[in-house]
Structure 1
Amino acid sequence: MPVRGGCSRSAEISGGWTRDLLLLPDRLSEAGSRANISTSRTSPGLINLLTATMGHSTGYADVDAVLATLLAGVRGTLGPHLVGVYLDGSLATGDFAERSSDIDVLVVPEDALSDEVVAALGTMHARLEAGTSKWARELEVSYIPRRALRRVDPDDNCHPCIQRGSDQLVTEAHDCDWVIHRHVIREHGVALAGPDPRTLIDPVDAGDLRDAVMSLLHGWWMPAPTCRRWLDNPFYRSYAVLTMCRMRYTLHHGVVVSKPMAARWAQAALDARWTPLIQAALAWSNDIVPDLGETLRFIDDTRQASKR
Structure 2
Amino acid sequence: MLTRFPALDALLTELVGTARDILGNTFVGAYIQGSFALGGGDEHSDCDFIIATTVLPSGRAEADLRRLHDEIPTRTGPWTSELEGSYADIASLRSVADMGVPWLFNNHGHRELTWDTHCNNPHARWILRNRGITMAGPPVTDLVDEVPPEALRDEARAALPTIMSDLRTWAPFDIAWTQRYAVATYCRTLYTLDTAEVAYKRQAMEWARDHLDPRWRPLLTQAIEDRALGWDPAAPPRPGSMAETYAFAAYAEASGTVGR
In the alignment, what sits opposite 2:139? 196
Which residue does the alignment assign to 1:294?
Answer: 244
The within-5 A match list for 1:76-91 is 76-91=21-36
- The structure with the greater share of residues assigned to helix is 2
Q: TM-score, normalised by structure 1?
A: 0.75
Match of 1:265 among 207, 220, 227: 207
Classify 1:224/1:126 alpha carbon distance in 2 versus 1 (closer, same or farther; 3 Å).
closer
2:232 aligns to what? Answer: none
| 1:161 CA drift (Å) | 0.5
Q: Is the alpha carbon distance of 1:174 and 1:223 closer, same or farther for their aligned partners in structure 2, counting shifts above 3 Å?
A: closer
What is the deviation of 1:155?
Answer: 8.2
Deviation at residue 246 of structure 1 after TM alignment: 1.5
**1:256 aligned partner:** 198
Amino acid at match of 2:188: R
Q: What SS does structure 2 have at the residue aligned with 1:108?
A: strand
The CA deviation at 1:301 is 1.3
Q: 1:93 touches 1:184 (CA, 8 Å); kept in 2?
A: yes
| Cα distance change on mapping 1:147 and 1:224 into 2, 3 Å | closer
What root-mean-square deviation, in Å, do the aligned CA atoms of Structure 1 and Structure 2 show?
2.3
Structural mapping, 1:3-152, within 5 Å: 56-98=1-43, 100-152=44-96
What is the correspondence of 1:160-179 to structure 2 with a 5 Å cutoff? 160-174=104-118, 178-179=121-122
Output the CA distance in 2 between the equivalents of 1:83 and 1:228.
Answer: 34
CA shift for structure 1 position 210: 0.6
**Structure-1 separation of matches of 2:98 and 2:178:** 30
The C-alpha deviation readout for 1:83-138, integer Å capped at 9, x for no partner, is: 1111111110011120x211111111111221321111011111212111231111
In 2, Cα distance between equivalents of 1:224 and 1:264 = 24
Overall identity of the aligned pairs, in %? 30
Against the structure 1 CA distance between its residues 229 and 144, is the aligned structure 2 distance closer, same or farther, given a 3 Å change threshold? Answer: closer
Gaps in structure 1 of 5+ consecutive residues? 1-55
Aligned residues: 250
| Distance of 1:76 and 1:223 partners within structure 2 | 41
1:240 matched to 2:182? The reply is: yes
2:127 to 168, 177, 184: 184
Q: Which amino acid in the other structure matches residue 189 of structure 1?
A: G
Aligned to 1:303: 253
